[in-house]
């Protein structure tokens, strides 16, 4: 094993050095070169639709083809089209003003590729979370090394074929392997490193990147709350809650992690959730549209949360009684009624079909609870009152805030995506992604006479007395 890992490390270093050499020789790919990369990637993605959907089905054990298309291919294609449409504008240098003392002169900011960007992608969306950041890095003119998840071997085969055909080794190197390989990967001296995954691993990645002073973008997750205001339409809330919580069986970094509702709303909300579940999945976990958990490790982790909660006296209800509670790697949606904060289900990101419901008697109580906890990647608010929206916008720091829906912010190609604090740092998607993977270099062009020369020493001349008197107006 040690020999194999050593060999993989050597291969990674060689691939990195080769891409670094290419980036140094060709520091500023043209607009046309970048557009060609995106166009070829678009064609390859379209050509590989069936292969990708079949591979995702195999890796997950079961995942409806329609769900994979909706969650992975549609937003990835939207990202490509948006980048192609706006890339010329993004690449354009931005003009800046110069100080009075510097005139005559001009100033601008040019957006230069950083060089070689490393990306570590997760297993839960193995297509979208590979291609999404890749699109931004390519648009910014970078070479990319991509570490994919070892839990999705069939999808990785198709992805390798896609990137080989569309980009080739001049633009991208794809790396496969386990956690040890990922650790070695994050120690390479990249010009930028993006990691998508858990907060605990994100700390390790950031520590490794610090060895080379590599700037990082961390897309982590955390516990994204769904707050139900007293004015909310509960039936509509339940519909959109089920949509956001059970797509991909809850294995989504921005899935609603827990619900906060008024104590008088709880029973009606739970009843509406049951109705929606029966409509979405009429045979419970046996329904063909219900996604499996990726592996037994994730299944056992979630079962452990349930067992711990029950042992502490927390009521846990299976809201999908029309089928078994679990079967073939599928776990029914369970509601946990008012679990205490010391339980693991309230400490960890759930990442599965478990839904704690907390109660409040006053909205301020709920807002204070959310405000005092680690900043989430997303917050969902259901309300009919603009004042509730204003309070959430001002009080709660979160990666995104979505009003009266769930999850749809991820598929908006013109909105940035990123966390804050424990839920991550940095942004990708849209223009902000292009900026993240670019170096914003200031360029100052001085022309004509040097006015500043008048301010040279000795400092006892009349000009300095004028500056001392009027500097606040300069």
d(C-alpha 14, C-alpha 25), whole Å: 17
d(C-alpha 205, C-alpha 30), whole Å: 32
How would you write 15-43 as a 3-class SS string? Answer: HHHHHHHHHHHCCCCCHHHHHHHHHHHHH
Residue 170 burial (10 A CB sphere; 0-12, 13-18, 19+): exposed
Query: Which long-range contacts does 299-308 make (Cβ < 8 Å, 24+ apart)?
Result: 299/326, 299/329, 299/331, 301/352, 302/331, 302/350, 302/352, 302/353, 302/354, 303/331, 304/344, 305/343, 305/344, 305/345, 305/348, 305/350, 305/354, 306/334, 306/336, 306/345, 306/354, 308/343, 308/344, 308/345
Residue 182 DSSP SS3: helix
d(C-alpha 411, C-alpha 69), whole Å: 12
Q: Which of 219, 276, 349, 431 is catalytic?
A: 219
Residue 419 DSSP SS3: coil
Q: Do 273 and 238 meet the contact criterion of CB atoms below 8 Å apart? A: yes
d(C-alpha 61, C-alpha 234), whole Å: 33
Residue matched to tokens 């001296």: 189
d(C-alpha 432, C-alpha 438), whole Å: 10
Active site residue 307: no
Active site residue 152: no
Q: Which of 130, 152, 253, 261 is catalytic?
A: 253
Task: Return the DSSP state at 454.
Answer: G
* Angle at which helices 386-395 and 363-371 cross, to 10°: 20
Point out the residues that are catalytic: 219, 253
């Amino acid at each position: 094993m040690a020999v194999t890992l050593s060999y993989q490390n050597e291969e990674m270093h060689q691939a990195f050095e080769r891409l670094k050499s290419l980036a140094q020789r060709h520091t500023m790919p043209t607009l046309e070169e970048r557009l060609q990369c995106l166009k070829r990637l678009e064609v390859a993605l379209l050509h590989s639709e069936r292969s990708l959907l079949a591979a995702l089905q195999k890796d997950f054990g079961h995942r409806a083809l329609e769900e994979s298309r909706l969650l992975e291919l549609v937003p990835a294609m939207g990202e490509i089209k948006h980048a192609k449409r706006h890339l010329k504008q993004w690449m354009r240098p931005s003009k800046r003003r110069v100080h009075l003392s510097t005139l005559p002169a001009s100033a601008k900011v040019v957006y230069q590729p950083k060089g070689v960007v490393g990306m570590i992608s997760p297993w839960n969306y193995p297509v979208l979370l590979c291609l999404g950041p890749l699109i931004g890095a390519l648009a910014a003119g970078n070479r990319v090394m991509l570490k994919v998840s070892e839990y999705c071997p069939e999808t990785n085969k198709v992805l390798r074929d896609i990137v080989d055909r569309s980009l080739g080794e001049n633009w991208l190197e794809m790396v496969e392997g386990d956690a040890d390989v990922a650790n070695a990967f994050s120690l390479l001296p990249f010009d930028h490193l993006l990691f998508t995954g858990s907060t605990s691993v994100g700390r390790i990645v950031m520590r490794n990147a610090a060895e080379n002073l590599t700037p990082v973008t961390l897309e982590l997750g955390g516990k994204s709350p769904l707050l139900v205001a007293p004015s909310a339409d509960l039936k509509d809330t339940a519909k959109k809650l089920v949509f956001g919580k059970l797509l991909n069986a809850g294995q989504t970094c921005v899935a609603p992690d827990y619900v906060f509702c008024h104590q008088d709303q709880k029973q009606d909300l739970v009843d509406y959730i049951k109705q929606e579940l029966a409509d979405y999945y009429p045979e419970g976990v046996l329904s063909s549209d219900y996604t499996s958990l990726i592996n037994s490790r994730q299944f056992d982790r979630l079962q452990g949360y349930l067992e711990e909660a029950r042992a502490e006296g927390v009521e846990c209800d299976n809201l999908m009684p029309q089928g078994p509670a679990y079967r073939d790697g599928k776990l029914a949606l369970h509601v946990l009624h008012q679990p205490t904060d010391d339980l693991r289900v309230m400490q960890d990101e759930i990442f599965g079909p478990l839904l704690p419901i907390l109660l409040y008697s006053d909205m301020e109580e709920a807002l204070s609870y959310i405000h005092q906890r680690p900043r989430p990647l997303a917050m969902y608010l259901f309300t009919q009152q603009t004042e509730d929206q204003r309070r959430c916008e001002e009080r709660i720091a979160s990666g995104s805030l979505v009003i009266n829906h769930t999850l749809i912010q991820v598929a908006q190609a013109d909105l940035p995506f990123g966390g804050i604090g424990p839920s991550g740092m940095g942004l990708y998607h849209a223009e902000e992604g292009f900026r993240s993977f670019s170096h914003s270099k200031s360029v100052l062009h001085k022309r004509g006479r040097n006015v500043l020369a008048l301010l040279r020493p000795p400092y006892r001349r009349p000009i300095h007395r004028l500056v001392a008197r009027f500097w606040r107006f300069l």
